[in-house]
Amino acid sequence: MTDDDSQAFPSQQQDPPGLTREMDPLPDHGEDSYEGSGRLEGRKALITGGDSGIGRAVAIAYAREGADVAFTYLAEEQADADETSALLEQAGRTHAAIEADLRDRETCDRVVGETVERLGGLDILVNNAGYQMAREESLEEITDETMDRVFKTNLYALFWLTRAAVPHMPRGSAIINNTSIQAFDPSSTLLDYAATKAAINNATVNLAGQLGEKGIRVNAVAPGPIWTPLQPATQPASKVEQFGKDTPLGRAGQPAEVAPAFVFLASERDSSYVSGTVLGVTGGKPVF
């Protein structure tokens, strides 16, 4: 990181879900920096929302660590999905890009089935896809449509995907949920989003208890403010300018700074006795 990393972002806004190429500056997903060491050699991973942001950074890291990777994306995110696919191709791993709106149980079942078919199995499930809308300032402004999208994308899909995936996952598999600092330090403008993230923390611990006897570890990563398309697509432009400045480190994080936590939790070599935990990557904000 350089001194310039602590500066405010230029004012900008996109329509949801947002695209990487329209961001200023472009996020760092580890394209030029992440180097693997074989920690996930031979593993097969499904990453939801893997076209951009944290999901793309995790996909790059997993592929360079030796994993085959399937990821989901929305139709509006085709450009980002194509870029991620190209990066996985360069890593020399089998990969599958699956267009899917995860707000539907049958779609979640299809995604898991297609992943198993195209990769030949499933060892790692990363429930990363998420949605927020921080332009509402009060409860009265949260529409039923927005609330339905937030809860189904963030929470329902996690349960549907996990339920469909577990029968395919052998002992030694890992499930990693993407939660948020919002579960611990919620913003009033993210009321519904923060509630789903607190629920994900609880679900993570409970799933770890349920699936331990199957030899499946369940953990979560709680990012702080990370520079992804979700920010200019769902935050007012005025807030984007100061994004991440309220952390102890004084800046927002990059997706590439979060991906190693997902690698650690997926690796049997590094975290074989870690389950039921929430690992914060927050720039110094507490996760307790």
Residues 10-42 pLDDT 10s: 999 999 889 999 999 999 999 999 999 999 999
What is the model's pLDDT at position 31?
97
pLDDT exceeds cutoff 80 at 5: no
CB 230 within 8 A of CB 286: no
What is the model's pLDDT at position 137?
66
Q: Which residues contact residue 90 at a Cβ distance below 8 angstroms, ignoring those fewer than 6 apart?
A: none
Which amino acid is present at 172? G
Structure tokens, 278? 């929430």
CB 54 within 8 A of CB 179: no
95-99 and 68-73: which strand pairing? Answer: parallel
CB 178 within 8 A of CB 223: yes
Structure tokens, 168? 């395919």
Instruction: Kindly indicate the confidence band of residue 136, based on its pLDDT and cuts at 50, 70 and 90.
Output: low
Instruction: Encode 53-75: b = buried (16+ Cβ within 10 Å), e = exposed.
Output: bbbbbbbbbbbbbbbbbbbbbbe
What is the model's pLDDT at position 3?
43
Q: How is 221-233 classified by DSSP, letter by letter?
A: EEE-SB-STHHHH
In 183-228, alpha helices (H): 191-211
Instruction: Kindly indicate the confidence band of residue 189, based on its pLDDT and cuts at 50, 70 and 90.
Output: confident
20 vs 189, more confident: 20
The single-letter DSSP state of residue 138 is: S
pTM of the predicted structure, to 2 decimals:
0.95
Beta strands in the chain (DSSP E): 44-47, 68-73, 95-99, 124-127, 174-178, 217-223, 278-281
pLDDT tens, residue by residue, 42-57: 999 999 999 999 999 9
pLDDT tens, residue by residue, 79-126: 999 999 999 999 999 999 999 999 999 999 999 999 999 999 999 999
Distance CA 266, CA 162 (A): 15
Residues annotated as catalytic are: 193
Domain 23-281 part of CATH 3.40.50.20: no
pLDDT tens, residue by residue, 211-245: 999 999 999 999 999 999 989 998 888 889 889 99
| pLDDT, averaged across the chain | 94
Strand order in the sheet with 278-281: 95-99, 68-73, 44-47, 124-127, 174-178, 217-223, 278-281
